[in-house]
Amino acid sequence: MFERFKRVRLLYLVLGTLLVVGLLPLALAGWLLSVRSADELRSIEGRYQAQLVQDKARQIELYGQRYRDVVSGLARAFELAGGVDVMGSSGSNARLRNVLQNDPNLIALTIVPVQGEAHKAFQPDVIRREEVEEKVGDVLARINGRSIVVSRPQIIRSGQEMALTIAAPVMGGEDGEQVVAAVVAIVSFHEVFKAVQQPAAKSERELLDAGLPVIFVVDKDGRAVAHPDEQVAFSERPMTDLKVVKDWQETGAQVQSALAPFTIERDGQQVEMLGSYATAELDSQTPLGVIAIQDERAALSSVADMRRQTLMISLLAAASALLMGFVLARRLTDPVRDLARGAHSIAGGEFSQRITVSACTELGELG
């Protein structure tokens, strides 16, 4: 019995050799190529993400700077005019309303003197008078000297609109260093929402499953202020459960942009994510974090396809090698088998049987 297992047919050795020599290098080369492609693609996706959030951060900063310049420009104009007394003339409120009509991003514009009546204009279909007074009061309490004050983006409940409030002091008095009034603007954050939304209307889950980056904006407390799903921002949902948001909070404005791969649990499974962040500074006290997250597996789906194709090619090559190798190995080993059969006959005392080997190779001469 053991003698039977000790003998291995030459056919099997030839087939095994063909498989090892032909299939193993192909499979190994395909696997190494897919690993290298995954590393390259991961690096490319990381660079793309880092550049993407950096561009979005600069876009938000320019948007904020635009309205900082508008508010500060009005404040400087009042300083040159000797104060806001000119607003007492007829038609001043109408001119403020015209400013709002010419710029749909301006939700409200208010001129608040230290002494006297405030002049305001606002879009009543977006914000109520009480909300205007509340937001104006919040930023006026923070004015100190010549510094421009920018609030964190806040929700306007009546109009379901996210907005930030910008205030610039109007300096005057005998020495020109006294705050005599303030110019306050409430600016829509809708342009920032448009910046983080994808062209196709998809949910966060659909974007992640498609391998697309989900971009959102958080304040310094980690609460969402702009998100592809507006309800996430309007509920001011904390996003600190994501490691990439915590990393941004720890580094803040110290890092212009950075990659931060992390893992989340989704549907009871650990999912590897690609993450990156950048900082958009509306002012020194109001940093915003621009965050991008992406499902690594979905983003690198082309690598998985490459590995599946490599496996299919390897299996096809193995089947071809087995089929062709079987035919060639039989032609190679049949003469040897005939010689072995004749040798057994001779060893058993049968000398009358002639050994005929029909082969054109050296094995034919042995017959």
Which range of 78-92, 277-291, 351-365 scores highest in mean pLDDT? It is 277-291
Which comes out higher in pLDDT, residue 204 or 227? 227
Q: Model confidence over 288-341: pLDDT tens digits?
A: 999 988 887 776 666 667 667 777 777 777 777 677 777 776 666 666 666 666
Res. 260: pLDDT tops 60: yes
What integer pLDDT is reported at residue 3 of this predicted model?
A: 46
**Mean pLDDT (whole number) for 81-98:** 74
Decide: helix, strand or coil at residue 68.
helix
Res. 9: pLDDT tops 50: yes
Q: How far apart are CA 324 and CA 342, in angstroms?
A: 28
**Dihedral angle computed from the Cα positions of residues 331, 335, 341 and 342, in that order, rounded to the nearest 10 degrees:** 160
Model confidence band, residue 2 (pLDDT cutoffs 50, 70, 90): very low
Q: Model confidence over 151-160: pLDDT tens digits?
A: 999 999 888 8
Q: Model confidence over 135-149: pLDDT tens digits?
A: 999 999 988 888 899
What residue has token string 């720890």?
A: 250
Report the candidate in 280, 293, 255 with the shortest Cα–Cα distance to residue 49.
Answer: 293
Res. 68: pLDDT tops 90: yes
Global pTM? 0.73
Rounded to the nearest integer, the mean pLDDT of the chain is: 79
CATH topology of domain 81-192: Beta-Lactamase (3.30.450)
Percentage of the chain modeled with pLDDT above 70: 74
Q: Model confidence over 15-28: pLDDT tens digits?
A: 777 677 766 776 77
What integer pLDDT is reported at residue 185 of this predicted model?
A: 94
